[in-house]
Amino acid sequence: MRTLPIVTLVAIAALLLVACGKQSTSPGSAATSPAAAADRASSVVTSAEQPTTELNWNNLDAAVGKYQNDFGLFGVGQVPDALQDLLGDKFDLLQNNLTVAGPLRKSAAVYYITGNAAHQGGVEQAYVLLDPATQAIEVGLWQQGTLTVLATPDAHLVKPADVETMIANTHPVVPPGH
């Protein structure tokens, strides 16, 4: 088996970065050199890493359309802190139940995300509703098919149609023999 020299590999990486739009494409610029491409490749953040931006009540709009690892639902900031305060020891369950989740969406004044634990839709799943105007949260957590709703006291959040459908389509798990 023939191996490629490191310079060739770096050049290929640079071409891939250019093709993906990750750097300048102007001819002769330093940004298109193989060394610059190698520097960029080593600083690329993977989707499994949490972003450094805090998720606060005033920047939820910028997170719409992004997935939880890209906007820091479980990272740092006012929103993750409020989730932790509301859920306590169920915070880890929420993280697990949103392992496979859609992007953050917005319906009227409510931001929301829905998902489930890997291969556990309908049994281990969750939704999160966020209202930045009142700083209210509602979390629906399914554990072994049973829904528990935790919410900020006096929160009156209107559930988006997607969440209503999720609730309506989830049937309690009945143990065998019952």
pLDDT single digits (tens) 74-87: 999 999 999 999 99
Residue 52: C-alpha distances to residues 63, 69, 70, 73, 120 (Å) = 13, 11, 10, 12, 30
Between 119 and 36, where is the model more confident? 119
Asked if 92 and 112 touch (Cβ cutoff 8 Å), the reply is no
**How far is 127 from 139, CA to CA, in rounded Å?**
6
Q: What pLDDT is recorded for position 47?
A: 38
Choice among 10-14, 66-70, 92-96, 103-107 with the minimum mean pLDDT: 10-14
pLDDT band for position 24 (cuts 50, 70, 90): very low
Q: Give pLDDT, residue 119.
A: 85
Q: What's the confidence (pLDDT) of residue 170? A: 85
Neighbours of 44 (CB within 10 A): 9
Average pLDDT for 150-161: 94
Cα separation, 144 vs 157, whole angstroms: 25
**DSSP strands (E only) in 13-162:** 100-101, 105-107, 110-116, 125-131, 136-143, 146-151
**How far is 138 from 133, CA to CA, in rounded Å?**
14
Enumerate helices (H) and strands (E) in the chain, giving the number of each.
6, 6
pLDDT in tens, 81-128: 999 999 999 999 999 999 999 999 999 999 999 999 998 877 899 999
**Could you tell me what percent of the chain has a pLDDT over 70?**
67
> Any idea what the Cα angle at residue 95 is, between residues 54 and 147, rounded to 5°?
125
Q: Residue 174: pLDDT above 90?
A: no
DSSP string spanning 35-70? HHHHHHHHTPPPTTSPPSS---GGGSGGGTT--HHH
* pLDDT confidence tier of residue 171, bands split at 50, 70 and 90: confident
